[in-house]
Structure 1
C-alpha cells in the first residue's frame, strides 16, 4: 500500500502509535461492531471524507471503521495541544489515512492544514468546533458544490452552525452529533467530568479535597465536572447565566454565585461554557495567590488571556508541564493550565476510550446515514435519527452483558392509545 500524503512529526513513531490505538480499541466494543459491519458491507466505497478532529487513539479507531467501510480520509488536527504524534504516525503508516497534524503546531500551520484537507474535494466533513465548515464557506466556497453533508461533534461547533444557518450562510446539511442523548450524557457529563480533573491533577498535582473549585457553566459538562469534584472532597461553587441551570445547581446542593464573588474564594477555576470572556480582568484581579485557571469549554477564549498578560509583571513558563505561572504586581501568582486550551486534552489524554466508544459509534453510523440520505436533507442543522442513538446504546449494553426489559404488546398498545 502506497503511503498516503501527510505532514506528521515522525513516522518512526508508528509502532508505538499502533500499540496505543489497539489499547484504546479494547474499550470500544460498540465501535468494533460498527467496524465489522462496515468491513462487510462497504457502505462508504468511493466517498472522500475531510475531518478536523483531535488526533488521539480513540479518533484513530473511528477513522479505521470509516476506512473499513471504503472511505478515503484526510485528517487535520482540531487542537495542536491534543495531537498524539505517535497516533498520527500510525494512522499514516499502518492505517492508510492522510494526516496533517503535529503536536504544538502554530496557528498558521493549523489553518493551512484545514485548507489542505479541503482541497482533496471531500464529499463529507467531520468537524470538531466548526472550523472546517467555516473555512470551507469562507475560503473555499467553490468546493461546497461537491460537499454533500457533514457531522459536528461539539457544543461550540453546533452553536456556530446554528448561527450560520439562522443567517442563511450554511450551504450544506450538517448533523449535530453532539446533541444526541448518548453524547451529552456520557461524553459531555462523564467524559468531560473525569478527563478535566485528570488534566488538572496531572498539571498541578494539587489536592482537591478541602479546596474550593469554581465551575463556570452548569450544562452537561459542568454538571459532570461538579459531581466528580465534589466526589473528591472539593467545595464546589457554580457560576451561571441561565436561571434554570442555576436553579438546578442550587437544588443539587451546590453554592451558586456570580463570578465577581466567586473569584475571591476559589482555589481552582474551570470554565465549561462555550462562550468567551467568562473569566475577565476584574475577576483575575480579585483571585487569591496560587489560584489555578483551566478551561474545558473548547476554544481558548473563555479565560481572557490578553487581560491576564496585561495584569502580569512576569510570566514563568512551564513551572510544571502544561502549567504557566503569571506573577501580578503585588506578588500574587495565578497558574494557567494548557495555555487556556482544553485542559483535558492539553494536560491529559481526553475522554476515556469507553466514553468515546459511544460517541464515535454514533458518528460512524451517522456518516453511513448521510451517505444514504443526503439527497433528502436540506442545508441546515439536523438531528441524529433517534434509532441510531438507540442502536448504539443497545450495542454498549450488550458489550457490558447488561439485559433490559422489553415491553409486552399490551404495554405498547397502552402507551400508543388515547383510549381509556
Structure 2
C-alpha cells in the first residue's frame, strides 16, 4: 500500500493545488534548499521512521519532504485542527509521505490522527505543542521503546516537556528548538508579529491605525505583535505578570497596566502567553462595544470562551472566522478563529523566509538527536550553539551578506584574563 492509499485526507484530488503552494514556499526557503542538496545525497536518515505533528501548511510540507529526501519514512499529522490545509495534505500524500489530517476534524478524529501517526512506531519525532509526546507517555507507553528522541517547536510544548522531565517520567531526549536564538529572535518576534496581523487584517478587513491594541504577554511573540501594531499606527497597551518583561515593555514605549484596567480601552486584544484564562469572565463586562479578541498562543485556552458564552445572550457567525457575542447590555464582542491561534487558523502562518530558518533548525536538530540520543539521555536539551549559529550563517549567505571573523590575536585576547 502506497502513502496515498494509507493516508487519511479530505480530498486527494486537491493535490495539484497543494503542490503549487508548496513549490511557491520552497522558492523562498533557501536554507532548507541548501540542506536538501546535501541530505538527499547523504541519506543520513535512511531506515528511520519519523513522526511529525506540526501546523500542516506549505512551509511544513517543505520540511517533511526534506526529511523524506534525507532517507526517512515520514508520517505527518496536524498540531491544531484549524491550521491544517487540505490541499497540502493531499499533495504530501501523493509525494510519498503518509498523512493523517483534515481541516477542522472533530476532537475525537483529531486525536485518532495523532494516534495513527504514533502507531507507525517512529524512531524520531518532531512535535508542536507536545501532543505526540504526551500521548506516548500517558496513553501509549507501548510505543515508546523504539523512540530515540525528537524536537519540540513551540513554547507550550516545551513547558509540557519540562514538567514531564521534572517529574522524572520523560523517557527520551527532546531538543527545545523554540528556545534557540534562530527560533525565538526571528520566528517568534518577526514571524508571529507579521502573521498575527496578517490573520487579523484579512479576517476583519478593519483599520488598525488610531485604535488601541492590548497585547497580553511580552515574551518574544508579544514583542513582535506589539511592534507590528505600533507600525500599523495603533496605540499599544501591554499586560504582564513578569516585572522584568513589564519594565522592558515600558522602556520600549508601550503603556503597561493590569488586564482589569486594559480591558476598558482595547479595540483589539491579542493573547501571547501560553497560559490559560488570561482574558476571563471578569474582563468581558469591562470591554467596550465592538472589541475584537484573538489568540496567538498554541492552545485555545488563553481566552476563556466558556465564560464568554455564558455571559452572552446570543452568538452568531458574522463573517468567516468571526463569532459575534451579544451581551445582555447590547454590547457586541467578537472572537476570531474560535480562540485558536489566529495566524494559522485564520491565515497562512509565518512568512516562508522565517520558517526557512526554523525548519532548517528542526532538521539539523533531528539529525543531532539521531546521532547522539544515547549520549544525551532522557532529558530536555537546548539546541547546540553551533547548529544555531550555522542556520544564521546559511541565512546570511542566502541574502548575500558577509560578516567578519575574529583574528587569531582577537581570539587569544578574548580567551585571556590578562590585558
Does the pair score TM above 0.5?
yes
CA-CA distance at 1:417 after TM superposition: 1.2
CA-CA distance at 1:76 after TM superposition: 1.1
CA-CA distance at 1:169 after TM superposition: 1.6
CA-CA distance at 1:393 after TM superposition: 0.6
Aligned partners of 2:125, 2:53: CA distance in 1, in Å?
A: 8
Residue of structure 1 equivalent to 2:19: 18
Structural RMSD (CA): 0.8
Q: Deviations over 1:110-143 (max 9, x none)?
A: 1111110111110111100001100011111011
CA-CA distance at 1:242 after TM superposition: 0.2
Is it true that 1:49 corresponds to 2:31 in the alignment?
no
Aligned partners of 1:34, 1:383: CA distance in 2, in Å?
A: 21
Aligned partners of 1:101, 1:143: CA distance in 2, in Å?
A: 20
Question: Residues 6-405 of structure 1: matches in 2 within 5 Å?
Answer: 6-93=7-94, 95-317=95-317, 319-405=318-404
Aligned partners of 1:84, 1:68: CA distance in 2, in Å?
A: 22
> Retained in 2: the 8 A contact 1:214–1:269?
yes
Aligned partners of 1:412, 1:265: CA distance in 2, in Å?
A: 53
- Which runs of at least 4 in structure 1 moved beyond 6 Å after TM superposition? none
Aligned partners of 1:333, 1:383: CA distance in 2, in Å?
A: 45
> Retained in 1: the 8 A contact 2:173–2:369?
no
- Matched residue pairs, number? 418
> Retained in 2: the 8 A contact 1:123–1:147?
yes
Aligned partners of 2:3, 2:279: CA distance in 1, in Å?
A: 46
Aligned partners of 1:171, 1:371: CA distance in 2, in Å?
A: 15
> Retained in 1: the 8 A contact 2:173–2:376?
yes
Aligned partners of 2:273, 2:255: CA distance in 1, in Å?
A: 18
Secondary structure of 1:281's counterpart equals coil
Q: Which runs of 5+ in 1 are unaligned?
A: none
Secondary structure of 1:145's counterpart equals coil
Aligned partners of 2:198, 2:101: CA distance in 1, in Å?
A: 24
CA-CA distance at 1:104 after TM superposition: 1.0
Question: Compared with structure 1, are the counterparts of its residues 293 and 322 closer, same or farther at alpha carbon in structure 2 (3 Å cutoff)?
Answer: same
Aligned partners of 1:179, 1:3: CA distance in 2, in Å?
A: 33
Q: Which moved more, 1:3-12 or 1:223-232?
A: 3-12
Aligned partners of 2:261, 2:337: CA distance in 1, in Å?
A: 25
Secondary structure of 1:151's counterpart equals strand
Secondary structure of 1:282's counterpart equals coil
Q: Which runs of 5+ in 2 are unaligned?
A: none
Aligned partners of 1:375, 1:69: CA distance in 2, in Å?
A: 21
Q: Deviations over 1:65-93 (max 9, x none)?
A: 10011011111111111111111100011
CA-CA distance at 1:3 after TM superposition: 3.5
Residue of structure 1 equivalent to 2:409: 410
